[in-house]
Structure 1
Amino acid sequence: MKKLLLTALAAASIQAASAQNSAVNTATLNHKNGTLDKAKTEIDKAIEHPKTKDKAKTWFMHGIIYQDMIGNPVYGKMTDDKTPEVVLNSFNKTVEIDGKNGEFGKQVPERLNLLYGQVLNQAVEFHNTQDWDNAIKKYELASKINPTDTTAVLYAAYASIGKEEPASAIKYYDQLINMGHKTQNVYRTKVQLLQQTEASDDKVMAALAEGLKEHPNDVYLMQEELRYYLQADRGDEAMAKLQNAITADPNNASLHAVMGNLLERKKDLDGATASYKKALAIDPNSFDANYNLAVLEYNRGSEVNNKAAKMDYKTYQKQGKALEEQAKKHFAASLPYFEKAHQIQPDDQATLQNLNRVYTRLNRTQDAERISKLMGN
């Protein structure tokens, strides 16, 4: 009698386990047939039952059933904001049980790539409607799904800028840098954001130094660093640092352009002119060298003109015309550099405005009108 009872209990146990395995199999079949509501009902039972809750197949099917409901025209209404995270947790549980190389574990990466795309698309939809909070939330989840991809982190930074939260954006730029995404734009934007938050000069200088370590020839970063040196009355240090860089890389046009800018700030206009021309001898298409040299010559002309304008009538009768001719020479000297800068960057508004002024001063009315049209006037 005892033996018969044990046999009966064993049979009941086998039937119970079989019933729960059947729930997973039924969920799988319903998923295959596209009846995701029924598949969901069965798989929800299976992940709760002690006989199947620790099986990789259970969690894998749970993940793909929920995932395939996302965006589905019929079953999408059964999902909510938390569904993508439910899917992620299911796939993580699959790998935890099965390992990366198990029957189901090895299928997870492809599914995670799909999930990443789904969540990123949701984030972009929120981004496009300027729903910054939800966009950032989805970008962060996308980054959690694929921690090595920088796209979601970069767009989370953009969304934070859109939300006018520079401190949050800085956090994402730091994350990008730690991920190895060390582009020039990342460092430039981080510096600008630090300046918006009125961070201490030390913090901004540290960010500039970090950026220049990765991009030693970045003109913007160099100029900003020099500006901070000059604000702190450390012009000699800036000059020495830049001179060392030029000695190490004498054929770098950007370095000579920055030297010109520094000398111009120190009122050494002849030295600045020489440096800009060195830069152009190395790279005739250097926008910074062309533009800065043009502005330098234009400002020289304006300074001479101002002297003439301040003269009394008697003095002007004697010296004014000569000064105006001298000013015109400087304006004419600036023109080819402004034209070249315009050729290099046709849409730069500052260049267009200055070109318009020069043409006007040189009485080249038709050219001034042409540039004015390009400016939208």
Structure 2
Amino acid sequence: MKKLILSLALVGATTLAFGQKKVIKEAEKGFKSGDYQAALTAIDAAAANPETSGDPATFLLKAQIETKMFYADSSNTMETVGLGRKALETYNKTFEMAGSDKEAGVGADVYEEDMPGVPDNLRPYSIMTLKNLSFDKAISRYNADDAELAYEFFSLAGEIDHTDSTIHYNAGYLANELGKFEDAKKHFGYLLELPNYNKLNTYYFMVQILSTEEKNPEAAFDLVTKAKTEYPNDKVLAEYEIQLLLQLNKMDEAMSQIKDALANDPNNTGLLLRSGYLKEQAGDLEGALADYKKSVEADPNFFEGNYYTGALMLEMSRKILNELNGLSDAEWEKQSQTLGKQADDYYKQAVPYFTKAVEIKPDNTDIMIILYQVHTRLKNTAEAEALDKKLTELLGAGWQEN
């Protein structure tokens, strides 16, 4: 009787094992024939059965089926991204079940190298196939001007391979454009870890995110300091360093860096502007004016240089008039003509700079209003009337009262 019961048990176990093998074969058949839904149903049944649920090969086949479903979905929507993420999750589970070994067994199959362009039946449908397919879909969406989905597919590919610089640069760039700054930092962070990668553009992006978007000049400055150890002669990093020192109110250090930078690049308009700004803040108005003028000499179409030069001339005129108004009546009588002429001279000198600024930015009504006020003070009637007409066209009648 015991033998009979044992025999029946063995028959049952054999039948069950045979049944599960049949289910797996059904999944393999659907995988090869393109009936992916039937294949997925079959492999899910095998994954849930105690006889086959512990075999990493079962889950490898499931991941491969999910990858083919991902590939076959040409809609390339967020649902497609979801299919890819399910496949990635299954590959990761398979790899863990296989002992996390890329060199042997099922673990090696999970990471088998994929060669794009080979016939479909020769592709391994490994996790690397999923990466390449996701990259292709990202490019497709990017070419269709769908930055949001292009980013999602690049990001999926990047989760598979943290060392692919092309994927992570594209993902970081798009994330930054889309305002996904934490995501951008993640992808750019992977690039900064690569030993032989040219990281300059990555540093630029990261500094801008930290200083501008996150309002964290301290962290940005620390990153610039690190970047300069790798790229000590880069002019952009030098300018970032100066800009951040200014934000951090480290004026002496900023001035020192500007002097060093100008020694190597004396016609750099941005450096000349910052040098002038620092001197202006320190009360050296003549030195500041000289630097602002140099920036315009270096580039006559430098808007900021023209504007800052004209604005400082008006400030210097204002200081003279305040000084004049503070004098006693007797002193005012003595110096009013001399000081008044000096103030008017600064107004006259400011005209070409503001005029050029308006030429560079013809719709900038703020500069136009300043220039109108300058011409009015100097009694340049024709010029003032022309500006009044232009401002009325842009701002409407009664613009002076608004």
Question: TM-score scaled by structure 1?
Answer: 0.66
1:88 matches 2:100: no
Match 2:385 to one of 365, 371, 375? 365
Match 1:331 to one of 335, 339, 347? 347
Structure 1 residues 291 and 95: CA distance shift in structure 2, 3 A: farther
Match 1:222 to one of 228, 234, 242? 242
User: 1:3 maps to what in 2?
Assistant: none
Counterpart-to-counterpart distance in 2, 1:177 and 1:368:
54
1:281 matches 2:288: no
SS for the counterpart of 2:235 is: coil
RMSD of aligned Cα (Å)? 4.9
Match 1:144 to one of 145, 148, 159? 159
Match 1:113 to one of 135, 151, 161? 135
Structure 1 residues 279 and 295: CA distance shift in structure 2, 3 A: same
SS for the counterpart of 2:57 is: coil
Match 1:294 to one of 285, 300, 310? 310
Counterpart-to-counterpart distance in 1, 2:351 and 2:190:
42
Counterpart-to-counterpart distance in 2, 1:246 and 1:107:
51
Q: What's the % identity of the aligned pairs? A: 20
Once the two structures are superposed, residues 46-105 of structure 1 have per-residue CA deviations (whole angstroms, 9 ceiling, x without a partner) of 5556398516554212222256569689xx9xx699644212234565985251146333
SS for the counterpart of 1:206 is: helix
1:54 matches 2:57: yes
Structure 1 residues 344 and 143: CA distance shift in structure 2, 3 A: farther
Letter in 1 for 2:44: D
Letter in 2 for 1:192: T
Once the two structures are superposed, residues 91-126 of structure 1 have per-residue CA deviations (whole angstroms, 9 ceiling, x without a partner) of 56598525114633364343222565799999938x
Match 2:21 to one of 17, 22, 46? 17
Once the two structures are TM-superposed, the CA of residue 242 in structure 1 deviates from its matched residue by 2.3
Task: Identify the range of structure 1 (291-300 vs 81-90) with the bigger mean alpha-carbon deviation.
Answer: 81-90
Structure 1 residues 27 and 176: CA distance shift in structure 2, 3 A: closer
Once the two structures are TM-superposed, the CA of residue 212 in structure 1 deviates from its matched residue by 6.7
Counterpart-to-counterpart distance in 2, 1:19 and 1:60:
16
Structure 1 residues 80 and 183: CA distance shift in structure 2, 3 A: closer
Letter in 2 for 1:339: T
Letter in 1 for 2:211: V
SS for the counterpart of 2:168 is: coil
For these two proteins, the number of residue pairs brought into alignment is 341
User: 2:44 maps to what in 1?
Assistant: 44
Letter in 2 for 1:301: S
Q: Is residue 190–residue 207 contact of structure 1 (8 Å, CA) maintained in 2?
A: no
Gaps of 5+ in 1: 1-5, 126-134, 162-167
Q: Is residue 24–residue 58 contact of structure 1 (8 Å, CA) maintained in 2?
A: no
Once the two structures are TM-superposed, the CA of residue 146 in structure 1 deviates from its matched residue by 6.3
Once the two structures are superposed, residues 297-354 of structure 1 have per-residue CA deviations (whole angstroms, 9 ceiling, x without a partner) of 1211222333455567887677556544432321221222223334445566764554
Counterpart-to-counterpart distance in 2, 1:348 and 1:189:
28
User: 1:124 maps to what in 2?
Assistant: 148
Counterpart-to-counterpart distance in 1, 2:80 and 2:124:
29
Counterpart-to-counterpart distance in 1, 2:223 and 2:173:
18
1:175 matches 2:189: yes
1:97 matches 2:109: yes
Counterpart-to-counterpart distance in 2, 1:331 and 1:315:
23
Counterpart-to-counterpart distance in 1, 2:17 and 2:225:
69
1:187 matches 2:207: yes
Counterpart-to-counterpart distance in 2, 1:369 and 1:244:
47
Once the two structures are TM-superposed, the CA of residue 39 in structure 1 deviates from its matched residue by 4.8
Letter in 2 for 1:340: K
Once the two structures are TM-superposed, the CA of residue 255 in structure 1 deviates from its matched residue by 2.6
Gaps of 5+ in 2: 1-9, 95-105, 115-122, 194-198
Counterpart-to-counterpart distance in 1, 2:168 and 2:188:
15
Q: Is residue 57–residue 104 contact of structure 1 (8 Å, CA) maintained in 2?
A: no
Letter in 2 for 1:333: Q
Letter in 2 for 1:267: G
Counterpart-to-counterpart distance in 1, 2:394 and 2:39:
62
User: 2:196 maps to what in 1?
Assistant: none
Letter in 1 for 2:113: K
Letter in 2 for 1:104: Y
User: 1:29 maps to what in 2?
Assistant: 33
Q: Is residue 305–residue 327 contact of structure 1 (8 Å, CA) maintained in 2?
A: yes
Counterpart-to-counterpart distance in 2, 1:19 and 1:170:
44
1:65 matches 2:89: no
Match 1:262 to one of 259, 278, 286? 278
User: 1:132 maps to what in 2?
Assistant: none
SS for the counterpart of 2:202 is: coil
Counterpart-to-counterpart distance in 1, 2:313 and 2:284:
13
User: 2:6 maps to what in 1?
Assistant: none
Q: Is residue 347–residue 374 contact of structure 2 (8 Å, CA) maintained in 1?
A: yes
Letter in 2 for 1:26: G
